[in-house]
Structure formats: C-alpha cells, structure tokens
Copies of this chain bind each other. A is one copy, B any other.
C-alpha cells in the first residue's frame, strides 16, 4: 500500500517544490502552473491545497521558519546545560549542511522581495528567541553583572545572522571549526562562567 499522505504533509511537499522553483526561477518567475508541474499535480489538485499563488508563496516562506524552529526544538529537547543554550541555538541558525543552505537561500529570495519582506520585518523568530534565552540566563544569575540586556541581544542577533550569511556565501572559509570559537568567545563576554569551545566541535 502506498504511504498515506495527509493534507498538511501534501502542503509541505508542494511548498518544497516551490522552493526548488524559486531556486531556479526566482520568486517573480514562480507560477502556480509551474509548481503544479514540478509537484506532479494538476492545477485543480494544487488549488485544493492552496487557493492562490500568494497563499502558496506565503506558506512556502513560513515553512522555512518552521523547519528552523523544529530543528531548534529538537536540539533543545536534549538535556543541554543552560550556559550552553546560546551557542547551540546560534549553531542551529547557521547553515552548516545542504538542507539548511537551501532553506536559507530560499529565505534570501523572499527577503530580497519587498512584497514578502514586509511579512517578516523584525519577526523572523530569532530575535524573540534570543530575548527569551538571555532573559532566562539572567533570571538564573548566569550572566555577568551590569549587562545591558537589550543591547547584547541585538549584538548577538547581528553577529549570528552575519555569520549565517557569510557561511552561506563562503562555506569554504567559514567552517564549523572557524565559527564555533567566534560564537563561544562572544557568548563568554556575557556568561559568568566561560565555556570552552571544544565541547561544540
């Protein structure tokens, strides 16, 4: 018996076909008809899952965020010492494998498009997650005294996103071995008890 694919799974498969199309043709060249062909569906069948191109593209953008969130939640389900959370979180954001490189490139296409960019302005979930993590560490007395929390959140967010982009564009230079000490060194500016890079390599 063929594997049953439910409604939500089918939507994800179509969104992944949309990613492939965006990689080839850009957002502006991605039509509902071409996606239906890519996903081996009739136009009518595709309309059953997405009523418009706008809905399909929005969902495809949202799915990038969801996939990253899923990876982080899976990582955090492990028993990780609180002091190490910021480093593990950062390493999940940075695209160190082919799948996350594809997702980040698709994300880039959306963010270059002024129409779609607006959907996520200042709300890609990363800033909010960093706020939560740093607040948690502060509440548990794990941060050095006198930290300006809002400024440090913004700084760490910029550093991690900058590393993520450079890793995407220059993967040969920005290996995991090069990235880990940079993140750990920066996080150690904040933590009361410094971490050792070697536990993340």
Contacts and interface: CB of A to CB of B under 8 A. Distances in A.
Contacts of A88: none
B172 A154 contact: no
A170 interface: yes
A114 B105 contact: yes
A139 B196 CA distance: 30
Interface residues of A, number: 40
B169 A120 contact: yes
Contacts of A112: 26, 105, 108-109, 112
Interface in A146-173: 151, 154-155, 157-163, 165-166, 169-170, 172-173
A113 B174 CA distance: 20
A10 interface: no
A182 interface: yes
A26 B29 contact: yes
A184 to B, nearest CB: 11
A117 interface: yes
A115 to B, nearest CB: 10
Given A23-B114, A154-B166, A159-B162, 19 more contacts: A25-B28, A28-B29, A29-B29, A105-B112, A105-B114, A108-B108, A111-B169, A117-B169, A122-B170, A154-B182, A155-B182, A158-B160, A158-B163, A158-B166, A159-B159, A160-B162, A162-B162, A162-B163, A165-B165
A78 to B, nearest CB: 26
A151 B185 contact: yes
A181 B170 CA distance: 28
5 tightest A-B CB contacts, nearest first: A162-B162, A158-B162, A122-B170, A26-B28, A26-B26
A186 interface: yes
A108 B117 CA distance: 12
Contacts of A113: 26
A74 interface: no
